[in-house]
C-alpha cells in the first residue's frame, strides 16, 4: 500500500489523538491550532480514508491480572499460502494472542501472548499453541521489563 501524504495539520491531529483519543473536537482543535469545523472535517476525512482505524482504551495488563508478556516464534510445517492462511485464521481466534506477525528470518510467525503467570502461560502454550495444526517448532521469549511499550506511531508531515 502506498504511503499516504499527510499534511502538517493532519500530522498534528494524529499525534494529539494518539496521545489522547478522548479529546473533544474543541480541545483537539485548540491543541493543533485549527478552528473546530476544519478540525472536525479533517478527522472525519482521515477516518473515512482508513488512516484512523478506531479508538481504544490502553489498559495496564498487570492491573487486570496479566502479569506475563511473551513473544513466541513459530515455524510451520508447510510454507504454502493456503497452510499459512489456515494458521493465521486459527491464531486470530485466540484471545491471549494479542498480536501476530508473519515474519522473515528463522521463524514464520511472531506471536505476542499474555497470561496470568508462568503456569498459566505454560498451560496455554502446551494445550493450545502447541496443539495448533501445522506447527513444526516454537520458541518463547519472556518480557522481563517493558522499556518502551507501544505508545503510538511516529507521524511526519509530507514535504
CA distance 111 to 74: 8
- Burial code (b: 16+ CB inside 10 Å, e: under 16) for 37-49 equals eebeebbeebeee
User: CA–CA separation, 90 vs 85, rounded Å?
Assistant: 9
Closest CA to 43 of 30, 26, 60, 25: 25
pLDDT at 98 over 70: yes
Give the single-character DSSP code of 154.
Answer: -
- Cell numbers linked to 142: 519472556
Q: What is the pLDDT of residue 133?
A: 85
Is pLDDT of 1 > 60? no
Calpha distance 26→55 (Å, rounded): 17
- Scanning the structure block, which residue is given the C-alpha cell 493532519? 10
Predicted confidence (pLDDT) per residue in 45-86, tens digit: 999 999 999 999 999 999 999 999 999 999 998 878 888 899
Q: What's the Cα-to-Cα distance from 20 to each of 13, 16, 31, 34, 83, rounded to whole Å?
A: 10, 6, 11, 17, 40
> Is the model's pLDDT at 159 over the cut of 80?
no
User: What size, in residues, is the chain?
Assistant: 159
Q: Average of pLDDT values for 1-29?
A: 91
Amino acid at each position: 500500500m502506498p504511503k499516504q501524504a499527510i499534511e502538517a495539520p493532519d500530522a498534528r491531529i494524529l499525534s494529539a489523538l494518539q496521545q489522547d483519543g478522548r479529546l473533544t473536537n474543541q480541545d483537539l482543535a485548540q491543541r493543533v491550532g485549527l478552528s473546530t469545523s476544519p478540525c472536525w472535517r479533517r478527522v472525519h476525512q482521515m477516518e473515512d480514508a482508513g488512516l484512523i482505524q478506531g479508538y481504544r482504551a490502553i489498559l495496564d495488563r498487570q492491573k487486570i491480572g496479566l502479569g506475563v508478556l511473551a513473544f513466541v516464534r513459530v515455524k510451520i510445517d508447510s510454507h504454502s499460502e493456503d497452510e499459512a492462511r489456515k494458521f493465521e485464521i486459527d491464531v486470530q481466534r485466540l484471545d491471549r494472542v494479542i498480536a501476530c506477525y508473519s515474519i522473515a528470518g528463522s521463524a514464520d510467525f511472531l506471536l505476542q501472548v499474555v497470561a496470568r503467570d508462568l503456569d498459566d502461560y505454560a498451560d496455554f502454550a502446551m494445550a493450545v499453541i502447541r496443539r495448533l495444526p501445522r506447527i513444526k517448532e516454537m520458541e518463547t521469549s519472556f518480557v522481563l521489563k517493558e522499556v518502551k511499550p507501544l505508545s503510538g506511531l511516529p507521524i511526519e508531515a509530507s514535504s
